[in-house]
Chain A
Amino acid sequence: MPATNKNTTTRLGDRVFSTLSKGSGIALLVIMAAIALFLAIRAVVAIREDEGNFLTTFQWDANADPPVFGIAVLLFGTVVSSVIAMALAVPVAVGIALFISHFAPRRLATTIGYVVDLLAAVPSIIYGLWGALYLVPHMTGLFLWLDQFFGWTKVLAYDGTPARSLMTVGILLAIMVLPIITSVTREVFLQTPKANQEAALALGATRWEVIRMTVLPFGRSGVISASMLGLGRALGETMAVATVLSPSFLIDPSLLESGGGTFAQNIASQFKEAGGTGRDALIASGLVLFVLTLLVNGAARLIIARRREYSGANA
């Protein structure tokens, strides 16, 4: 109970209601703890059974006897595809956010903001379907071009097979996280104090100089936390990766050719064939993914929390 109520007698209704609401809050914490606990229990079982090294084995034969599996390829694929997605999505998202907050005519800006929010709601399986049946065939041209000029780097080599590769996954993930990064970034940009912007304008700054001197410094932490929220999404994305990627348990130096895998994709693709240890192994890889997203999201939230705005209630 809040300290202000100390002198009044607490009514029964009040006590019931506050206990109920407090209980719900605690229930949420319990659920989070239970997720970690139950994944960990299974993960321990799996890692004990594992004949390979869980961190460094390039193989996933969890249903075999003896089971041999490791997350090296999955970790690599998850990180690489998310990094590609971030590298592509963040600059574009900042651009769109600036477009909405400072460049577009006002009426157009509201409409676009609205559409961006709607796009954030498109289910990931639809991105996956589109990615597999439309994006993959349309990537071939771009990849061949990249191969022609940068093929010697091995990283961007391409042999013309269907482009169901980590690069395509990264591009698709970039498209998917664009709306969420844009909408958070836009909110922050719109909060830039008017006085600062007008001061810059009064000094004769052009629009770009206003943005560079007031909007970007003010919104920097917002952009960082928005990107990390997007990164969290990209790391845990399942269906879009499962439909687009043609998985393998080798690390191919080329990002443009099929192969590799991600945590979530591996779970979704292997689940139906997995038996006892197989399932435990998948849950163990899920635990790693959980910890990874927990760290990324936690960091993002800490950055945001430092600048949480004033609220009307409970002043």
Chain B
Amino acid sequence: MTYPNMTVRRTPIDPGRTTLRPPKLPRWATAALVVGSLAAGATVGLVGRLDSRVQWGLIAALVFVAATYGLSAAIEGRRYAKDRLAAILVWACFVIAVLPLASLVWETVARGVPGVDWYFLTHSMNGVLSWQNGGGIYHALLGTVQQVLIASVIAIPIGLLTAVYLVEYGRGKLAKTITFFVDVMTGVPSIVAGLFILSLWIMMLDFGYSGFAGAMALAILMMPIVVRSTEEMLKLVPNELRESSLALGVPKWRTILKVVLPTSIGGITTGVMLALARIAGETAPILLLVFGNQMINGNVFEGAQSSLPLFVYEQWGYGTEQAYDRAWAAALVLIAFVMILNLVARGIARWKAPKTGR
């Protein structure tokens, strides 16, 4: 291989210099350049009478990039200048990505907090019109919890057993096919899962809208996530543990139940909770299958229910200030719900991480 970039251009050594180290920009150079280019941006902005501060910032950024590159190329050489340019770009990517995400979290918290109180959490929307204040998310919370629980009752056993099959039993074509389709299944859009249950359960078998129909679609979305994460965790269990159990005459199925699964239980729990967090925020299948309801319906198996994400969508759709306030408040509750699940899951992962030799 040839590396075109490796041709080292030697800077002629100044005979008066006492060190062999190549010349470098001092460490305070970056800070000085930042201050300098900010000043330049502000000056241009003031002189050119640009009203938008965004333009000031952009000018400052351009000045900073050009000045850093030029200065570094003059003192340190082109290769080091390129290195600095790359570092600036990578930092810029980071900042570009952080801005919208921070704004998202900030908006949700700032606009959601005023609306969340005990009344909001314990009342339904029964009889509340879109332009009225008041109302709450109790019915939606209830629906979300019930649907997610039922989905996990369906998805967790199938997911766990499939992962066990893939790691402990699976050989040959069938296992390869299953692995491939599990991967592909992770990418099935949630609305497609919803359409499938719609076509099978509601249109063909003629059942009505219910929380259970939604839960089945959620289960389809949850299964592959559970399989993938459990598979990874089972693979981390060292073979020595399995072998010593088998060598003692323990049957394979008891080895799996009593040695392999307990060893990886922490990781498996984490994976399951991350999957729960993922499906708790799904809206599309709920919209198609659970339909939405303003009243409390505690029966998952019959009649339309609501759910938190669907509640947010409905309130957004009303388009009044009062409904927007409710939407933001419900969004905050939803985000808190999902984040708590995530944090607990990752806490468990750290606490119960399998002790491998690595």
Contacts and interface: CB of A to CB of B under 8 A. Distances in A.
Contacts of B280: 123
Given A92-B96, A236-B192, A2 B169 contact: yes
Contacts of A226: none
Interface string B237-253: 11100100000000111
B253 A268 contact: no
A28 B181 contact: yes
Interface string B175-205: 1011011111111111111011011100110
Nearest to B237: A313
B192 A290 contact: yes
A273 interface: no
A32 B184 contact: yes
A21 B164 CA distance: 7
Interface stretch (A52-60, A114-122, A158-166): A114-122
A123 B11 CA distance: 55
A22 B175 CA distance: 9
Interface residues of A, number: 104
A35 interface: yes
B87 A313 contact: no
A208 B195 contact: no
B5 A91 contact: no
A101 B342 CA distance: 23
Contacts of A132: 316
A195 interface: no
Contacts of B220: 31, 35
A133 B324 contact: yes
B251 A41 contact: no
Of B164, B180, B283, which is in contact with the most chain A CB atoms at under 10 Å from its CB? B283
Contact of B187 (A209, A293, A312): A293
B235 A286 contact: no
Contacts of A111: none
B101 A212 contact: no
A72 interface: no
Interface stretch (A61-69, A147-155, A246-254, A296-304): A296-304
B253 A13 contact: yes
B18 interface: no
Contact of B192 (A41, A205, A289): A289
A121 B277 contact: yes
A143 interface: no
A91 B188 contact: no
Contacts of B278: 121
B199 A119 contact: no
B6 A203 contact: yes
A16 to B, nearest CB: 7
A122 B185 CA distance: 20
A95 B93 contact: yes
Given A123-B309, A134-B103, A264-B284, A314 B162 contact: no
A34 B187 contact: no
Interface in A283-310: 283, 286, 289-290, 293-294, 296-298, 300-301, 304-305
Given A239-B283, A268-B191, A21 B169 contact: yes
Given A1-B169, A34-B196, A96 B93 contact: yes
Given A24-B162, A35-B196, A99-B90, A236 B191 contact: yes
A264 B191 contact: yes
B19 interface: no
A268 B310 CA distance: 11
Contact of A279 (B90, B198, B227, B282): B198
Interface of B: 3, 5-6, 8, 52, 54, 79-80, 82-83, 85-87, 89-94, 96-97, 100-101, 103-104, 107-108, 157-159, 161-162, 164-171, 174-175, 177-178, 180-193, 195-196, 198-200, 203-204, 220, 223-224, 227, 234-239, 242, 251-254, 256-257, 274, 277-278, 280-284, 287-288, 309, 312-313, 316, 324, 327-328, 331, 334-335, 338-339, 342, 346, 356
Given A32-B184, A293-B192, 6 more contacts: A96-B90, A114-B346, A126-B335, A236-B190, A238-B190, A238-B191
5 contacts: A93-B97, A123-B280, A238-B284, A271-B287, A294-B188
